[in-house]
C-alpha cells in the first residue's frame, strides 16, 4: 500500500505530510480514478473544493474539513513543494521532514523555494540517516529517516510521461544540469 507507481509514487507520503492519517489509502483511489488522462492532484483539489463522488465515502472520510481548508490555503510555493515531493518515492517520514517546516528546521536550513529551485538539495541536505525521538512519556517514539537517494530525485525529474507534471514550475531536461552534476559528485 505504501508504494504507488506512476507519475506520483510519493503522493501517499505527501498526503500524510499534510496530516491525512491514511494518506496512502486516499492516494490509491486518487491514482486509480485519475487514470492516464487526469492528474491525481487535480482530483484532490476538486475534492477539497467540495466536489463529491471522486472517492468512495469510506476513503473520503479520511479527509477532514480542516484538511481541505489547509490544502486550499496553501500558498503556491508550499503547494509546489508538496507536488514535487509526491513525484518522489519517499517514506512518510522523509516527506514530513521536507514538508513540515517545524520538523525540517530541526535538521535542515533550506526553505521551500530552495528545494523548488534545486530539487537535488533534498539529497544534499539529508546525506545521513536521521534518528530522533518525538513525543513524550508513553507516546514517545523513535523516528528514523533514511537519506533520499540522488537517483530518487532523478526519477522524479526525468520521468518519461506525456502529461505535464505538477509542479509545472520545476522542469529539468538536461542530465548535465549543474545542480544535478554537483549532487552526483558530492
Backbone angles phi, psi at 132, to 5 degrees: -150, 165
- Give the tens place of pLDDT for each residue, 44-62: 999 999 999 999 999 999 9
Helix/strand/coil for 64:
coil
**According to the model, what pLDDT value does residue 20 have?**
97
pLDDT for 1 equals 40
Element (DSSP H or E) covering residue 142: strand 141-145
Residue 171's pLDDT band (cuts 50, 70, 90): confident
Burial of 99 (0-12, 13-18, 19+ CB in 10 A): buried
Residue 42: pLDDT over 50: yes
Q: How deeply is 84 buried, as exposed, middle or buried, from its count of CB atoms within 10 A (0-12, 13-18, 19+)?
A: buried
Sequence-distant (≥ 6) Cβ neighbours of residue 100 within 8 angstroms: 17
Indicate if the pLDDT at residue 3 is higher than 50. Answer: yes
**Integer Cα distance of 182 and 129 in angstroms:** 21
Helix axes 92-99, 76-86, angle to 10 degrees: 160
- Of 52-56, 84-88, 143-147, 167-171, the one with minimum mean pLDDT is 167-171
4 pLDDT higher than 70: no
- Tell me what the mean pLDDT of segment 138-151 comes to: 89
DSSP per-residue letters across 76-135:
HHHHHHHHHHHTS---HHHHHHHH-HHHHTTT----HHHHHH-TTHHHHT--S-EEEEES
- pLDDT averaged over the chain? 91
pTM reported for the whole predicted model = 0.91
Q: What is the predicted pLDDT for the residue at 32?
A: 93
C-alpha cell at 14: 505527501
Domain extents in the chain: 11-185
pLDDT (0 to 100) of residue 44: 97
Amino acid at each position: 500500500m505504501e508504494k504507488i507507481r506512476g507519475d506520483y509514487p510519493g503522493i501517499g507520503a505527501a498526503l500524510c505530510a499534510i496530516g491525512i492519517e491514511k494518506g496512502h489509502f486516499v492516494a490509491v483511489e486518487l491514482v486509480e480514478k485519475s487514470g492516464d488522462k487526469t492528474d491525481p492532484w487535480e482530483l484532490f483539489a476538486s475534492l477539497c473544493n467540495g466536489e463529491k463522488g471522486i472517492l468512495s465515502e469510506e476513503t473520503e472520510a479520511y479527509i477532514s474539513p480542516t484538511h481541505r481548508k489547509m490544502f486550499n490555503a496553501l500558498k503556491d510555493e508550499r503547494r509546489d513543494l508538496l507536488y514535487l515531493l509526491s513525484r518522489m518515492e519517499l517514506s512518510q517520514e522523509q516527506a514530513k521532514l521536507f514538508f513540515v517546516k517545524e520538523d525540517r528546521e530541526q535538521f535542515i536550513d533550506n526553505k521551500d523555494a530552495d528545494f523548488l529551485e534545486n530539487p537535488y538539495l533534498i539529497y544534499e541536505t539529508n546525506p545521513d540517516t536521521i534518528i530522533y525521538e518525538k513525543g513524550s512519556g508513553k507516546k514517545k517514539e523513535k523516528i528514523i529517516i533514511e537519506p533520499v537517494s540522488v537517483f530518487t530525485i532523478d526519477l522524479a525529474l526525468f520521468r518519461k510521461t506525456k502529461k505535464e507534471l505538477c509542479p509545472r514550475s520545476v522542469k529539468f531536461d538536461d542530465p548535465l544540469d549543474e545542480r544535478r552534476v554537483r549532487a552526483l559528485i558530492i
